[in-house]
């Protein structure tokens, strides 16, 4: 199965999902915009509408979509619009791109559960929208932190 999440800079997001048991592949790229075949510089311009996104291939018999959602919520601040840590811009917004009606339902339930938990004093601004074309990022972005012997520590 496939899952797609945007939660700030895709290097750290990918790193958080890549080694989960049941995740067979991760790819970083761009989704949610209105520009064909965007490149990194295009997305950073803020004019394409894309978010830095991680596309995940996973085996639901090993890791559930709800478990992926738990990781997603844990690795970023879903209350800050267009910002994660030092990264600012629409490309760093918080988005769950769903691929199936069931993913949409599970995402909505998990978001409501987080809102009801009072974990955050500000409201959750994460978008839950249908997945669209995924444009893989340039090769040097793939497994970026792993290639450099670094590990993502979260926000």
Backbone Cα Rg of the chain:
14
pLDDT in tens, 72-131: 999 999 999 999 988 999 999 999 999 999 999 999 999 999 999 989 989 999 999 999
Q: How many other C-beta atoms can be found within 10 angstroms of the C-beta atom of residue 74?
A: 11
pLDDT attached to residue 155: 47
Q: Residue 111's domain spans which residues?
A: 2-147
With bands split at pLDDT 50, 70 and 90, how would you rate the model's confidence at 56? very high
pLDDT attached to residue 153: 52
pLDDT attached to residue 29: 96
Residue 155 lies in a domain: no
Residue 153 lies in a domain: no
- Whether 152 shows a pLDDT value over 80: the answer reads no
Residue 152 lies in a domain: no
What number is the average pLDDT over the span 35-62?
Answer: 95
pTM (whole model) above 0.95: no
- What does the alpha-carbon distance between residue 77 and residue 32 come to, in Å, rounded to a whole number? 19
- Whether 144 shows a pLDDT value over 90: the answer reads no
pLDDT, greater one: 153 or 40: 40
pLDDT attached to residue 103: 98
Q: DSSP states of 17-35 as a string?
A: HHTSTTEEEEEEEEES-SS
pLDDT attached to residue 151: 62
What number is the average pLDDT over the span 122-144?
Answer: 92
Catalytic residue of the set 3, 9, 28, 54 = 9
Total domains in the chain come to 1
Instruction: Let me know: does 72 contact 96? Beta carbons within 8 Å.
Output: yes
Three-state DSSP class for 45? coil
- What does the alpha-carbon distance between residue 15 and residue 143 come to, in Å, rounded to a whole number? 7
Reported in sequence order, the residue ranges of 2-147 that DSSP labels E, i.e. its strands, are: 2-7, 23-31, 51-58, 83-84, 87-88, 94-98, 127-130, 135-136
CATH of the domain at 19: 3.30.1060.10
- Whether 55 shows a pLDDT value over 90: the answer reads yes
Q: Please indicate whether residue 153 is annotated as part of the active site.
A: no
């Amino acid at each position: 199965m496939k899952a797609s999440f945007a939660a700030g800079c895709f290097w750290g997001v990918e790193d958080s999902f890549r080694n989960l048991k049941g995740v067979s592949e991760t790819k970083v790229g761009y989704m949610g915009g209105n520009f064909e075949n965007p490149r990194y510089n295009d997305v950073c311009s803020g004019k394409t509408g894309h978010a830095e996104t991680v596309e995940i291939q996973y085996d639901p018999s090993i890791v559930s979509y709800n478990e992926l959602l738990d990781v997603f919520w844990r690795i970023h601040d879903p209350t800050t619009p267009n910002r994660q840590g030092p990264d600012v811009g629409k490309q760093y917004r918080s988005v769950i791109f769903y691929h199936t009606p069931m993913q949409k339902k599970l995402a909505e339930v998990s978001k409501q559960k987080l809102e009801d938990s009072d974990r955050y004093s500000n409201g959750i601004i994460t978008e839950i929208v249908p997945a669209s074309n995924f444009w893989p990022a340039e090769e040097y972005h793939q497994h970026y932190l792993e290639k450099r012997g670094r590990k993502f520590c979260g926000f």
